[in-house]
Every structure is written in C-alpha cells, then in structure tokens.
Amino acid sequence: MAMSPYRRCNLYSFGLLFLLVILSMVLLKTHLKSCDQNSSEVNSLFKESIKTELNEIHLEMQKLLMHKLAPSARLVQKLGEIVHRLDNKRQPSLTNEVVSKDGSVDVCPEGYQGGKSGYPLYAKKGWYITNCTNAKPIRSVISILVNTVAYPKEDENHVENVLKGITETYPTVQVHLATRSTEMKKVAEKYKSIDVVRLDDTKLSKAWNTLITKTSTPYVLVARDIFHFTWLTQLERQIRVVSQIPNVAVAGGAYRNVSGHWKAGCVQTKLKNYVLEYQEGYYHSKNECMFCDYLQGPFVTKTNLLKLDENLPDEVVFEDWFLSVVQDGALIMACPDAMYFTRDYHSYSKRTDKKVWTPLAKKWELNRVLQPQGVKHSFTCQDIGFTCNAQSGLLPVCCQELYKEAVSFFQKFADEHNVRFELDSGSVLGGVKFKGLIPWDIDGDFFVLSTDIEIFNKKETIEHFRKNGYSLTEYETPMLDGKKYMYDGYVKVNFNGFYIEVFGTTAMSNTVYLPTELQKHETFTKASIRGNWVDTKYSPGLYARNRYGREILKHSQSWFKVGLPHSFADYETGSFLPCKNPLHHACLSSFPGDGDIPFLVA
C-alpha cells in the first residue's frame, strides 16, 4: 500500500527532529568535555538549562507521536537553537530569500557596510537596502491600518501627524483609517492614498476587523496606538522578516512613548496548566530580531491571519490573537532596530483590573494570569465557568482549592460533632504526592466510623451542607451487625461537578497502629492539604505503598480511565493516556509521569 504524503511528511519531520535531538546530546557531551575544569559551576548551570529544554522537547515529541501530529515550526526552531548554542558552526540556516515564480521578491535584500560606516550617529548607514530590480512595488505588498475609534478626543490631533508621516515616508502605500470623528474624516480625505471608514461604534476589535476586509495586499501593518510615523519604522525590514524567514507570521519593532521611554516590545508567554504567564525578554534570536510570543507594539503580519475576537474586551483582543498564533505553531519576531511612536492606552487597566481579563480567562480556561513586575490575576472556577469533572486533562487549581475548602469544611463539621474521620485511598495518595488532590483525580475518599455516619442522613446536616454549597446524596444505612464488609455505610458529598465518597468503617487506623498515647484525636496523623492540616492514615506513606504497590510515586490515571477491572488492580505508572484535545494547555500527556513540581500552581 502506498504511503500517504501526510504520513511521509510526518515520518520525515520526526526523523529530522530525532537527528537534531541526537546531535544536540552529542554536542552537549563534547561541549562539556572541552570546557575548562575551573568553570564547573558554569558548566553545571549550562548543562541543567539544556537538559530542561531537551526534556520539554522530549515530552512534546511524545505527545505528537501519541496523537499522530506533525511537529510545529516552533519546536524545530527551538531544537535548532539548542544545536546552535552547543556548536555555532552547526547552526541551522533559517533564512532563504523567497522568490516568486516570476522571479520577484517582496522587498530588496539588505547589505551591511561595516561598523565604520555612519560613525558616530549610525542612522541611515550601516545596514542599507540594496538596489535590486526584482522587488515588487511596495503598494502591492503591504497596507497600513490605523484605528483611532478609541482614541481620546485630545489625541485626535496626533492622527494628522501620523497620516502626514505615512504619506511622506511611503507615498504609494494604501492606508485604511477607522475613526469616529467627522473632522478627522475630512482631514484624511486630503490624502489620495488614505481610505477612511467612519464608525460610530467604539469597539476596537470590530474596527480592526472592518479595516481588514478592505485590505487586498498580502501583508498589513497593524499600527496600533501610534501618534507619529517616520522612516524609523523601517517597514521593509519587517516585511523581509515575515516573507523570508520560514514560518514567521508576525514581525514588529520596538516602540517609545511621548516621554521617551523605549522598549523592545518582545514578550514570552507560557500557557500551561491553566496558568498564562508573561515575561518580557527573549531566549533566541535570528537576523538581529528576537523570537517572541507576544508583541507590545505595532506589527506586520500576513493579512489572512488577522481576525480579532469581538466578544473580548478591547484591552485583551491582541493577547488572545497572539495566543492563537502561537498555538497554531507560527513564529513571531521583534526587530528592535525598527521603532514606532505609540501611546499605551490599556497597560494600566490590564495591570489593575481583573475584569478585563475575565472573558479571556473563560475562553482559554485560565486560573491565573501572571504579568511582568509581579502582577497577578486569579480566577475561580465560577469566574471561568469550569466544573471539576476530570476527563483527559488536569483539573485546574481552582478545583484543588475547592477540594481543600471541602476537606476543611468536613474536618470542621466532624470535629464539632465528634465524628472521627480519615482520608482514604486516592486522597491519602494525593496528600503524599501532591499535598492535596491528585490533579487529575475523579473523586475524593474519606473513612468515618460506621457508628457515626448516620449524622449525614439527618435533615439539619443535609441543610447545613446545602447552605455551604455541598449536597449529600446516595446515603446508605450501615448494617452494624459485626460482619466484615468492604465498607459499612456510605454517603457522597457533591460540589461543582466533583464528589467525595465517604465510607463507613469499624475502626480508625490511627487508633489501631499508633502508639497508645498518640491515639487521641488531637494527635492523629495529619496531612497538609494545600496548607490545611487534615486527619489522614496513621502513616500515609506506608499506607499508600501497601495499598497501591509498585512505583506509587509515579503517576497513573483512575482505574476505570485506564480500563482496569477495579481500583485494587495493579496500576502501570509513569505515563498518561492520549488527550481528547492534545493542544490544550492542561493535556495530561504533555506532562511527565513522575514528580509533583511540574504540576504545582501557586
């Protein structure tokens, strides 16, 4: 049977990745051998850094193989950069001049005249655009979008400076302007290359999407929040990056504000386990541009990629769009030698107002948004509309917090009514491994004395639990006949799609196996459940090892998720099943099958 082109592509891609991984490991060994013995501390840090990155790539490749997906350009680029760091001579080439079938290019190539050219100001010399004859007219390559519908009235005066600067720098390039102002519309109509759209709606995303529909060029400059436009923008530079570096979909520049504060504008994002973290800076670069995940300033992109979500607040529509670009595997770059003049209308509200992030948190299922300078927004399960029913992914930290609250509530109720209870089964194991709930568990497990369980069938108890957000269901009356049962009496505690099974038992392990003087309730063994101390088994580590067998500190999903006949069967630990949505940031198969640190969320 002939092999499909898709399968051939996948095999080729994985073969290339495999060779790169092997090469990086060989180079790492050679690099460390060749280093001076006196720099052992530096070598150790370097080795640890490379090891961490290769481990992340290994997990990503495992997930791709499991789901029969092709590797992304971002993954290949990441591996290539590791090879480059280990041996500069083997740096993979990322840049090839893209030539159309008719022999034309989008913009002419660059040349460099050397460090002495342009001394001492280094403005228009040094790097220069060559006088090629096969470049397309720039008006057929790029359009410029200017969206002022949300500009304050006092800032409309700056728009004419922007329009004047564009027409002087790029007189033939088509500009599409969105404005609410009739006066601004009249000003813009003086320029032949400017198409004006007057909108009464102040919704930024709607205005951007309207401008996109009017664009016919393959690339577009999203000139957000600009108040000046000059040759410093270096539009050709960004077009060249997008059109000639493979898999780059977006290229931007640095920016400065009215008071002169300058930023490179490159930000990394880490979306993992319901946490979105932003960090300014870069790990890798190419052609004097930084690889980024998000750009803070204006940018050039491919026109067919730009579509903003009009359901989100204006402050976070670009955050959402960049997340989608990254998820699709495309690359984003910032070239700090290009510079825009911008005003920042949304940074304050993004730092201080959790509400502007809530719709984005709901869309991407986020419990935390961590911004630079330590700014943190936290979201509850209710905020993001999440129920704690584990499927093939991790439960968010909000579910672990709800579990902590439920356990604490149950402990308080038990103490007040002299009901003895202990964590049991998976809840004990969760306390041992995660100091809380196993992040993919389907339920909790408690033991109470069978002689005490009847309290959970009383009307006042049911009402008390209900008022505090918990329902008591499926109550079973204990037999109390002295016969041996797996359990004697039962009730289920339900909240937000999760439940805790409460089993009746004839004795507490603490009163059987602890020394006599420690068998009082106040000296029962206690486990920390996300910081709250809760009664658990006499020796939780020993109990868990005896209950679950070999390699219990490695991970496995619930018995019925992995197809075991019952919970007492032997588990195969160390890996997870494929996810229904392998691209989700909480997909279990993208996490290691061992350790608790990769799962921790503060």
Q: Are 89 and 76 in contact (CB under 8 A)?
A: no
Nearest to 297 by CA among 244, 326, 331, 261: 261
Phi/psi of residue 158, each to 5°? Answer: -70, -20
- Going by pLDDT thresholds of 50, 70 and 90, the confidence category of residue 486 is confident
Q: What tens digit of pLDDT does each residue of 69-91 get?
A: 767 777 777 777 776 666 543 34
Arithmetic mean of pLDDT over the chain: 88
- Going by pLDDT thresholds of 50, 70 and 90, the confidence category of residue 293 is very high
Rg (CA), the chain: 30
Structure tokens at 494: 């339900």
Residue 105 carries which DSSP code?
B
Predicted confidence at residue 92, as pLDDT, reads 41
Structure tokens at 340: 């825009």
C-alpha to C-alpha distances, 440 to 360, 365, 557, 559, 589, nearest whole angstrom: 24, 16, 7, 12, 12
- Going by pLDDT thresholds of 50, 70 and 90, the confidence category of residue 602 is confident
In what order do the strands lie in the sheet containing 444-449? 421-423, 444-449, 498-505, 490-495, 471-476
Q: Are 176 and 211 in contact (CB under 8 A)?
A: yes
Give the start-end residues of each E strand in 506-578: 526-529, 532-535
Q: Are 443 and 388 in contact (CB under 8 A)?
A: no
Examine residue 120 and say whether the peptide bond preceding it is cis (omega within 30 degrees of 0): yes
Structure tokens at 504: 């009746």
Burial class (CB in 10 A: 0-12, 13-18, 19+), 19: exposed
CA dihedral 148, 151, 155, 158 (to 10 degrees): -20
CA dihedral 232, 293, 144, 154 (to 10 degrees): -80
- Going by pLDDT thresholds of 50, 70 and 90, the confidence category of residue 7 is very low
Q: How many helices (H) and strands (E) does the chain have?
A: 16, 25
Q: Are 487 and 458 in contact (CB under 8 A)?
A: no
Please give the residue that has the higher pLDDT: either 157 or 259: 259
**Share of residues in the chain with pLDDT > 90 (%):** 68
**Share of residues in the chain with pLDDT > 70 (%):** 87
Q: What is the pTM of this model?
A: 0.84
Considering all CA atoms of the chain, what is the largest pairwise distance in Å, rounded to the nearest integer? Answer: 97
Residue 594 carries which DSSP code?
B
Helices (DSSP H) in 345-424: which residue ranges?
347-352, 358-364, 381-384, 397-416
d(CA 428, CA 542): 10
pLDDT over 50 (residue 6): no
pLDDT over 50 (residue 482): yes
- Going 397 to 434 to 277 to 66, the CA torsion angle's sign is negative
d(CA 483, CA 341): 81
Question: What is the distance in angstroms between the CA of the first residue and the CA of the last residue of the chain?
Answer: 52
How many CB atoms are located within 10 Å of the residue 279 CB?
16
**573-585: average pLDDT:** 90
CA atoms within 13 A on the CB side of 386: 28
Query: H-helix or E-strand containing 64?
Result: helix 40-67
Work out whether strand 526-529 and strand 532-535 pair parallel, antiparallel, or are unpaired.
antiparallel
- Going by pLDDT thresholds of 50, 70 and 90, the confidence category of residue 189 is confident
Q: What angle (nearest 5°) sits at the alpha carbon of residue 330, between those of residues 46 and 136?
A: 120
Phi/psi of residue 92, each to 5°? Answer: -70, 140
